[in-house]
Structure 1
Amino acid sequence: MEIGTLAFEHAPIGIAVLEHRIIRACNRQFAAIFGGAPDDYGDVPLARFYPSIEDYRRIGADALAIMRRTGRYADERVMRRRNGELFWCRVRGASLTPSAPFQRGVWSFADLSEERPLVRLTQREREVAILTCRGLTSKEIGLELGLSYRTVEVYRARLLEKFHARKLAELVAKLSGMPL
């Protein structure tokens, strides 16, 4: 077996080759993370592994905008295993076709379940959490999401409670998986 093939198949991180956000090939670790065997993933849309179609579209739009500038993208997000279980995942991608970033790319997936347990959030709570981690104020988040800053403060209060955090800095640390 060729060294490159060995490296791909046995890498300690999940790797997938995507074309237009459809899985064309993946390695053993990718299949272990999401469930099943590598052969189960040929020509499967990546959309199946997002918590919702809204997440798929929103994250895709964000990633596309960044990849058009840099050719790369990285984030940490909630994803869905084949059995429906949600989990935190670190995702990184590099486009092989810079003029059309989603045409073909190599993406890595790391399961963060052990270091970041999943807390059930509504779609809006996830959006507020993501923007909070990006350092936006309540007013900035409100403008971004079309909400009043007071409504954003209500969502932040719910997040503080769900994550058992006393202050916003502690919440951000827990959301980003940093040690406290």
Structure 2
Amino acid sequence: MSDPAFEYAPIGLVELENRIIRRCNLQFARTFGGNESDYRNLPLLHLYPSVADWERIGARSLQVMRDTGYYTDERVMRRRNGDLFWCRARGRSLTPDDPFRHGIWSFSDISEERPLVELTKREREVAILSCRGLSAKEIGVELGLSYRTIEAYRARLLEKFGARKLPELVAKLSGTPL
């Protein structure tokens, strides 16, 4: 039986079971590319930039959903053609005792609001640790690099994000999984 409210919602919707797409609506298929049938029984992993991102975001969202039953963030996702884009994801578990067993999620393309900035793996690590409030010396210890090397990475990040100072960079990065 078709559900027009789900099917024609103006936001991308998916029904997930254990992080596998059971059904999606038209807007979800438009956002990620292809047809609704292309996503049926597809592991959500295929829409993440990497397995590491899938694991990291999954672990964080599972913990939050265990506490609240709900999760939201902004993250980089991958379209069917391989293009990366910024996406706002929101999910609600229908099985609070086992949050990933069954849930409804929405996905919105926010790439016009937040252009994608290409970062190297090391730049991403430095950005994440900077957002956590670590000093250049603390980041250097954690990554096994000198604090001067960390300052060089931060300088590149400032340039890439068009920020003048570290607090401005952190403000641009904060609240966004990298």
> Relative contact order (alpha carbons < 8 A, sep ≥ 6): 1 or 2 greater?
2
Equivalent pair of 1:68/1:101 in contact (CA under 8 Å) = yes
* Structure 1 residue 12: Cα displacement: 1.1
Out of 23, 36, 39, the residue aligned to residue 38 of structure 1 is 36
Question: Could you report, residue by residue, the CA deviation over 1:3-55 in whole angstroms, capped at 9, with x for unpaired residues?
Answer: xx111111111000011100000001100000011111100000011111000
Paired-residue identity, %: 64
Distance 1:58 1:72, change over 3 A: same
SS across alignment from 1:102: coil
Match of 1:47 in 2: 45
CA distance in 1, matches of 2:138, 2:82: 31
Match of 2:173 in 1: 175
Gaps in structure 1 of 5+ consecutive residues: none
Distance 1:174 1:120, change over 3 A: same
* Structure 1 residue 141: Cα displacement: 11
Equivalent pair of 1:10/1:28 in contact (CA under 8 Å) = yes
Query: Are positions 1:121 and 2:119 aligned together?
Result: yes
- Written as runs of structure 1 = structure 2, the 5 A alignment for 1:122-161 is 122-130=120-128, 132-133=130-131, 136-139=132-135, 142=138, 146-147=142-143, 150=147, 152-161=150-159
* Structure 1 residue 60: Cα displacement: 0.5
Gaps in structure 2 of 5+ consecutive residues: none
Equivalent pair of 2:22/2:40 in contact (CA under 8 Å) = yes
Query: Are positions 1:20 and 2:18 aligned together?
Result: yes
Match of 1:162 in 2: 160
The two structures have a TM-score, normalised by structure 2, of 0.85
How many correspondences in the alignment?
Answer: 172
Question: Could you report, residue by residue, the CA deviation over 1:111-168 in whole angstroms, capped at 9, with x for unpaired residues?
Answer: 01111111111234334434545xx21249957x933693654443322121121122
Q: CA RMSD in A?
A: 2.6
- Written as runs of structure 1 = structure 2, the 5 A alignment for 1:68-147 is 68-130=66-128, 132-133=130-131, 136-139=132-135, 142=138, 146-147=142-143
Distance 1:127 1:21, change over 3 A: farther
The two structures have a TM-score, normalised by structure 1, of 0.84
